Amino acid sequence: MDHNLSQLKTEIYDQCALKISDLITETESKDYHACRFQLNGMKVLSRNAKITPKKPGNL
């Protein structure tokens, strides 16, 4: 679990009694810290935005 997902878990999910299970890291998207997990039985795909050096904004 990367820092951003850990922070979401602590500040939001834990406060709302939401539990993460079946966490799987997406190896082909490791630059984005992508992962799949279940949140109280709901399937979630999570990834961080990546700042591009030549284009404005996040991808």
Residue 34 to residue 56: CA distance in whole angstroms: 22
Length of the chain: 59
pLDDT at 31: 84
Residue 50 · residue 59 · CB < 8 Å? yes
* Every domain of the chain and the residues it spans: 3-46
- Other CB atoms within a 10 A radius of the CB of residue 29 amount to 14
pLDDT at 29: 87
Give residue-wise pLDDT tens across range 21-34: 999 999 888 888 89
pLDDT at 56: 67
Residue 30 to residue 13: CA distance in whole angstroms: 23
Give residue-wise pLDDT tens across range 1-53: 888 899 999 999 999 999 999 999 998 888 888 999 999 999 999 998 877 77
pLDDT tier for residue 59 given thresholds of 50, 70 and 90: low
Residue 39 to residue 16: CA distance in whole angstroms: 11
